Amino acid sequence: MNDPGVLIKVENLRKTYGKTVAVDGLSFQARKGEILGILGPNGSGKTTTLKSILGLVYHDSGEILVNGLSVPRDRKRVLESAGAVLEGARNIYWYLSPRENLLYFAGIRGVSARRAAPMIESLLRQLELWDVRNKEVRQFSSGMKQKVAMACAFVHDPEILFLDEPTMGLDVEIALSMRGWIRTLVREHGKTILVTSHDMDFIESLCDRVLIIRAGRIISDETLQSLKARFSQKTVEIVLEAPLTKAQSDAAEALGPCQTVGDEGVFRLRIRLHQPRRILDLMDILRDGGSVVRDFSTSENDLEDIFLQMIRKEP
């Protein structure tokens, strides 16, 4: 790779299953110390992309480089620097304890039990598994199993971590603790993480950059800050004592799509402003028309709003 900061480089990746095109010409990069989110509806090619990078499926064409190594040609060496949690917690053994799972996965990665011991204890404590370290995993909740899977993916201290739907089935408390742990990995240890998720709050609070994939193609590749600025919209809801006049309605419509709903003398105006700063113009329209405002609230586009807008657009 020309840029030493780039750990993963994918060029024109294509993968088909029979007549179904799963990934259709994907190109992107991931840099050291970056958390890259990959979003898309079901069947968009997210998991196939991760598995292709790991060499778990063979792509039809294109090039994948991880740390300058070609996949799948150098797959064994690539896996030495990578950890993965794919398809829930299926990569762990339910009749083993967390400690036994960690010892097993350290061993198959070439890490001796003596050398792995400090990392295993650290992971068990960080992920709040220490008190159940000798209990069979099959007795755990789905959230606890997922934490064991995360620990096993990291036991050999990989440079890159691949997470496919890491919060699926987790309650809010465990998802929050997982988010904090992932942030620590990046901040304190410089790890690079690729993560897919349908949990938009998780992605929005965690990722530096987001790829949005639809039908196997990237339709957006930019930072969260840039994406939110590009799709910035403010929704305003105002409770009025009387409906808008025709002139007020026409003027408000020029600022963005709006609707007024009346119910027993209370009228609610809801408007999605094309430009957030036009809220001052809206207030002028209400004031000049003699409207009495009883209540007022605003909300702005979050990542889920933006995601839905993008995937619903015509190709």
**pTM of the complete model:** 0.80
| Structural domains for the chain | 6-229 (3.40.50.300), 233-301 (3.30.70.120)
Q: Helix, strand or coil for residue 239?
A: strand
H-type alpha helices, 127-189: 142-154, 172-189
Residues of the chain with pLDDT under 70: 1-2, 88-90, 232, 263-264, 314-315
Give the 3-state secondary structure of residue 290. Answer: coil
Which residues lie closer than 8 Å to 62 by C-beta, 6 or more apart? 10, 11, 12, 13, 14, 25, 26
Tokens of 142: 């789905």
In a 10 Å sphere around its CB, with 0-12 CB exposed, 13-18 middle and 19+ buried, how is residue 254 labelled?
Answer: exposed
What is the model's pLDDT at position 160? 94
- For residue 295, list its beta bridge partners: 239
Task: Look up tokens 């240890």; give the residue.
Answer: 189
35 CB-near residues (< 8 Å, 6+ apart):
182, 186, 192, 193, 195, 206, 207, 208, 209
Residue 271's nearest CA partner among 235, 295, 231 is 235
DSSP-derived 3-state class of residue 104: helix
Return the closest-CA partner of residue 145 out of 126, 131, 159, 129: 129
CB 151 within 8 Å of CB 127: yes
User: What distance in Å separates the CA atoms of residue 75 and residue 89, rounded to the nearest whole number?
Assistant: 23
Pairing of strands 69-71, 61-66: antiparallel
Q: What 3-state DSSP class applies to 192?
A: strand
Residue 1: the pLDDT is 45
For position 89, what pLDDT does the model report?
60
Residue carrying structure tokens 């929050």 = 176
pLDDT value of residue 292: 87
- Reported as half-sphere exposure (CB side, CA atoms, 13 A), residue 259 has a value of 2
Output the CA torsion sign for 241, 278, 203, 127: negative
The widest CA-to-CA distance across the chain, in whole angstroms, is 79
Question: For residue 135, what pLDDT is reported?
Answer: 97
